Amino acid sequence: MSEIVKKWGLPKELFEGVAKGEQLITITAEKKRFGKMVTVIKGLDGKDINVQDLAVKLKSKLACGGTVKNGNIILQGDHRRRALELLVKFGFNEDNIEID
């Protein structure tokens, strides 16, 4: 029997889908030291989604390095468009994802 999430009264598998649909995510590119570009994914709620696991999946698919700091995923390189495609593939709502 599936574990029930008290917040929604849904099985854990369904709750993760609902939580992904509600996230308001911003994907930006920033220039760091020595002119290096990084992609920053902000707005992920660490309570509802395993941000560390999502970062590992993104780094694997994008073939880049990165980290999680303060609930934000930081990826080495400019991967804004591809990160959007992957987040949608992972179940996030495309209408709630903004690219700057």
Rg over CA atoms, the chain = 14
| Residue located via tokens 């996230």 | 23
**Which of 25, 37, 16, 33 lies closest to 72 in space, CA to CA?**
25
What are the residue boundaries of the structural domains of the chain, listed by start?
24-99
Place 13 in a pLDDT band, splitting at 50, 70 and 90: low
Query: Tokens in use for 39?
Result: 């992609």
SS3 call for 27: strand
Place of tokens 């660490």: 46
**Predicted pLDDT of residue 16:** 56
Torsion sign over Cα 35, 38, 43, 44: negative
Give the pLDDT confidence of 20-64 residue by residue, as tens digits: 667 789 999 999 989 999 999 999 887 778 899 999 999 999 999
pLDDT level of residue 7 (50, 70, 90 thresholds): low
Residue 15 pLDDT > 70, yes or no?
A: no
Looking at per-residue pLDDT, the higher value among 61 and 12 belongs to 61
Dihedral sign computed on CA atoms, order 73, 75, 78, 83: negative
For residue 67, the one-letter residue type is: T
CATH of span 24-99: 3.30.780.10
Q: Can you tell me the distance from the alpha carbon of 16 to that of 20, in angstroms, rounded to the nearest whole number?
A: 6
